[in-house]
Structure 1
């Protein structure tokens, strides 16, 4: 066979294939997609949520089919994580139902907030092949079969500074600020003494008399409780103590002091920030 004849046969073959394609299109001018029995997939493959969120992160299971769901669909799923103790899952039994007439159902992951700096939690929700229908987009089991979720830790390591800048507030005004050393109480890891809570200039400022400068310092002991509430006990009988909070993120104490040195029973707020 000559080169010229080969070209003629190749041309005839292409024309024949083109004819078949045109004929096929003419017979299927309005082609439809065959969904078969349908499939289920997840609406997203990634997500994140802060540990202190009051609302859950929602993963939606979608039903794909020809637009009918007369009997409902059962979808099985698994949840794996780096720490199961830090969240809850609803439904908790690993099965979610798409009711008859509906085309989606939700899986909820609710973080459990704590006060520990224990890092992020990685969670994977994965559809199971034991579900009523094939999983993944178009039931191929390749895409949208699982979702990776990260619960981000909102807590900071507790590291106390040795020195703090202290802002003082009383009578709806800002009193003179000062700095103070935080001295650990021997044998404890949550108690500290300070030489002056409201500062060496507070009484002189409050009375308008410079003769009180450096007097009535209001020394005492700070105790940081497990829930990061704070108790303050004054060293003097007139220093009736106070309470407040400690925030590890920012190394910050906020304490409201009561006192019996002045008449009138007013309180004094101090804010201590680690330096």
Structure 2
């Protein structure tokens, strides 16, 4: 029995000694190394928030007494689409620190230029070996993707019916459901229906449309800016007489959502603006429409 107790006590001492020794073990990192904390990221072109990419020192902070210069190069970068700091390819991990950041900021534009992939590569000319364990293999390069947020404007693909609502007064039946039909004749983007919902609505103007005009809508193929020159849009009947109406306006087309946001005035002939209420010189119709 005494022999068993002695053996048990010895085993217990050995166990605690073993645990204590493991806690005091120090990993031999040699001269240390530098690496990226991860391997890739993606950034939306319209995101104005800078993204920090960490470069970490694989060594003890106490051993970084003079600071560590990390050199890096860029592969496939487009300076018109992204800003990188530091711009000279030299990053310093300050003395006593174990990391520093390369900052990447996307530059938003209005061009349909597709996604941009580029790589930040740690250089072997840095003060320390690069990559995990200094092997220049894993985490020695970092891939960034800038995701393009622009879509092409192709007039021939925009034919159909756009529907939505306007800003007509809720006190007299608004907002109204509105729409226009669009075609492309190879040169011009043409619409039929601007202002019709209000003109023909029996809740207010109530004039049936008896003749339709094709309204030319000019769309900037780069910016999506919309211009509607002054032109004929429709003829209605009121108390047995025909009335011609004209339209003029502007707005924006958003190709990624295939949406128009437009505002326009309706006119009688002679560019006399329609005044829906007495004392109101004119009313600007605002419509949001999509297919």
| TM bucket normalised to smaller | 0.7 to 0.9
Which residue is 1:22 aligned to?
Answer: none
Q: Distance in 2 between matches of 1:75 and 1:55?
A: 24
Instruction: Check whether the contact 2:93–2:99 (CA below 8 A) recurs between aligned residues.
Output: yes
Instruction: Tell me the secondary structure at the aligned position of residue 61 of structure 2.
Output: coil
Which residue is 2:274 aligned to?
Answer: 261
Distance apart, 1:130 and its partner CA: 0.2
Q: Distance in 2 between matches of 1:168 and 1:62?
A: 54
Q: Distance in 2 between matches of 1:181 and 1:143?
A: 55
Q: Distance in 1 between matches of 2:214 and 2:202?
A: 17
Q: How high is the TM-score relative to the length of structure 1?
A: 0.78
Distance apart, 1:117 and its partner CA: 2.4
Q: Distance in 2 between matches of 1:33 and 1:216?
A: 87
Instruction: Check whether the contact 1:51–1:152 (CA below 8 A) recurs between aligned residues.
Output: yes
Q: Where does the alignment leave 5 or more consecutive residues of structure 1 unmatched?
A: 1-24
Instruction: Check whether the contact 1:197–1:270 (CA below 8 A) recurs between aligned residues.
Output: no
Q: Distance in 1 between matches of 2:202 and 2:55?
A: 65
Which residue is 1:88 aligned to?
Answer: 83
Which residue is 2:288 aligned to?
Answer: 271
Distance apart, 1:50 and its partner CA: 1.1
Which residue is 2:152 aligned to?
Answer: 157
Instruction: Check whether the contact 2:57–2:98 (CA below 8 A) recurs between aligned residues.
Output: yes
Deviation digits for residues 157-196 of structure 1, max 9, x if unmatched?
A: 223322222334112422243331234473xxxx523233
Instruction: Tell me the secondary structure at the aligned position of residue 143 of structure 1.
Output: coil
Instruction: Check whether the contact 2:227–2:249 (CA below 8 A) recurs between aligned residues.
Output: yes
> Please, which of 189, 194, 197 is the counterpart of residue 192 of structure 1?
189
Instruction: Tell me the secondary structure at the aligned position of residue 128 of structure 2.
Output: coil
Which residue is 1:229 aligned to?
Answer: 225
Matched, 1:177 2:190: no
Q: Distance in 2 between matches of 1:196 and 1:179?
A: 4
Instruction: Tell me the secondary structure at the aligned position of residue 241 of structure 1.
Output: strand
Deviation digits for residues 104-134 of structure 1, max 9, x if unmatched?
A: 1111121122222221111111100000111
Q: How high is the TM-score relative to the length of structure 2?
A: 0.74
Instruction: Tell me the secondary structure at the aligned position of residue 182 of structure 1.
Output: strand
Instruction: Tell me the secondary structure at the aligned position of residue 105 of structure 1.
Output: strand
Q: Which moved more, 1:98-107 or 1:160-169?
A: 160-169
Which residue is 2:39 aligned to?
Answer: 45
* Structural mapping, 1:1-275, within 5 Å: 30-68=24-62, 69-81=64-76, 83-160=78-155, 161-169=158-166, 170-172=168-170, 173-184=174-185, 186=187, 191-199=188-196, 201-205=197-201, 208-210=204-206, 212-214=207-209, 220-225=215-220, 226-236=222-232, 239=246, 241-259=248-266, 260-263=273-276, 264=280, 265-274=282-291
Structural RMSD (CA): 2.7
Instruction: Check whether the contact 2:72–2:122 (CA below 8 A) recurs between aligned residues.
Output: yes
